[in-house]
Amino acid sequence: MYIHDDRLAPKLDQSTFGIGGKLAVESGDWYGLKVKAAYYVTNDLGLRSSNPKKTDAYIFDVDKRPYSILGEASLEYKNGVSTLLFGRQEIDTPIVSTYDYRIIPNLFEAYTYTNTAIPNTAITLSYITKMSGLDGLVSFKHFESMSQQTYTSLAMSDLNTVDSNDGDTLDISKISGDQGVLMSGITYENSVKIQGWNYYCNDVLNEFYVDLAYPYTINSDLDAIFEIQGYAVREIGRFQNFLQNFGLNGSYELFGSKISLENKNLGLTTSVAYNFFTGDAKTVTAFGNWGGYPEYVAVPYMFAQDTSVSALAKSQMGKINLKVDLAKVGLANHTMIAGYSIIDLDEQIMPQSDIKLINLIYKAKVNNALNLKGQYEIRSSDNYRYANDMLTLSLTYKF
């Protein structure tokens, strides 16, 4: 993977090359039992800049140094419609997610039970104790408690002083202690897809997520999909008491809708999406806190500044997207995507910081082993933090 980030002063440009991957072994099935282990590694081949500020924030560890990790080590037991998975594992849900964004993804230590006894339905119960990966707060290369890895918008110079400009993001475990996440979810998919999830982290947060996707055939060439989503976040226990001492809260919602049209004859898919956050100037947000970014309109990481404690409260965002299947011009398994987004931040909370974003993506599956991806993102804003161009090139080979 290679990343070049062309940023406005006073931020320095970043140019980062990384190589690495995953080596996994999995046993055969023995009376329903299966064992799996996976080792992940990154390396810079000596090309990393000696200045950490010139290195991408997520390709290596939080200290900008390459690392290795035993990311998966699990025991699985499957008995008909029931599956138990214990140990280090990948998890793919709206709020807790592996999110394969850089070379080494988010990974979790968990006890997960899945049941598919009801037709077209999956029920999941999991207790997630620890997390590692690029969405962790204190470490990418070590598994730390879910409360310690919770990423919020609240920055403090110490436990008595809110400091959005010079402070560090708050490590909530200093207030709540080490806590895990109790996750429960149900997914139904039979043409219509509906899912609902709850994430409870004692003395930290309680989150509920739901979405619905309804496909509709207009004619033999044209299909439509109508989607809606929403989630609610509530601070609880010790974290709630802590925020109240500063006159702050951690309660907000996100709502969204999306319409997609696919023309199979032309190989074109167009979509229009809209999201908005609730909250107020005193609301601390936990956007993508455990690797999940289910929002229809993706946004960059937003920094709280000056007297604000979050850039996302009361914000709105919209996106127009076009996807082209290049098989129609003789390039099977090649795709082009172009998107244009507007991120409208509340002027009373984050003045002169709205973002306009152009996103161009090219994906190619050369053969069963080799995949290529190139992404060019152009962000424009009156706030220098969000005015940059980023090029990401990646090659994945599976053997």
SS (H, E, C) 331-357: CCCEEEEEEEEEEECCCCCCCCCCEEE
Q: Which run of H or of E encompasses 218?
A: none
What pLDDT does 328 receive? 86
Q: How far apart are CA 171 and CA 199, in angstroms?
A: 19
Mean local confidence (pLDDT), 222-227: 97
Distance of CA 115 to the CA centre of its chain: 25
pTM value is 0.94
The amino acid present at 391, given as its one-letter code, is: L
Q: How far apart are CA 333 and CA 365, in angstroms?
A: 5
Q: Which run of H or of E encompasses 273?
A: strand 268-277
Has residue 339 got a pLDDT over 90? yes
What pLDDT does 185 receive? 98
Q: Give the architecture (CATH level 2) of 2-397.
A: Beta Barrel (2.40)
Give the sign of the dihedral formed by CA 379, CA 385, CA 391, CA 397. Answer: negative
Spatial neighbors of 149 by CB under 8 A, at least 6 apart, are 130, 131, 132, 135, 136, 137, 138, 139, 290
% of the chain exceeding 90 in pLDDT: 93
Give the burial class of 225: count Cβ atoms within 10 A of its Cβ; 0-12 exposed, 13-18 middle, 19 or more buried: middle
How many residues would you count in the chain?
A: 399
- Mean predicted lDDT score pLDDT of the chain: 95
The residues spanned by each domain of the chain are: 2-397
DSSP SS3 for 312: coil
- 34 to 76, 114, 228, 398: CA distances (angstroms): 5, 15, 38, 22
Where residue 51 falls among pLDDT bands split at 50, 70, 90?
A: very high
- Tokens 């940059």 label which residue? 388
Has residue 176 got a pLDDT over 90? yes
- Tokens 């925020």 label which residue? 243
Eight-class DSSP state of 315: -
What pLDDT does 100 receive? 80
What pLDDT does 291 receive? 93
What pLDDT does 9 receive? 85
What pLDDT does 382 receive? 94
The answer to whether 59 and 86 are in contact (CB under 8 A) is no
Q: Which two tokens stand for residue 13?
A: 């440009």
The answer to whether 196 and 208 are in contact (CB under 8 A) is yes
Q: Which two tokens stand for residue 68?
A: 């290795």
CB atoms within 10 A of CB 205: 29
Q: What is the pLDDT of residues 248-302, one digit of tens each?
A: 999 999 999 999 999 999 999 999 999 999 999 999 999 888 999 999 999 988 8
What pLDDT does 249 receive? 97
Mean local confidence (pLDDT), 95-116: 94
Has residue 79 got a pLDDT over 90? yes
Q: What is the pLDDT of residues 349-383, one digit of tens each?
A: 999 999 999 999 999 999 999 999 999 999 999 99
What pLDDT does 288 receive? 83
What pLDDT does 399 receive? 87
Spatial neighbors of 201 by CB under 8 A, at least 6 apart, are 146, 147, 150, 176, 179, 180, 181, 182
Q: Which two tokens stand for residue 397?
A: 């080979």
Q: How far apart are CA 350 and CA 306, in angstroms?
A: 9
Residue from 58, 57, 59 nearest 44 by CA: 59
Torsion of CA 89, 92, 93, 97, to 10 degrees: 70
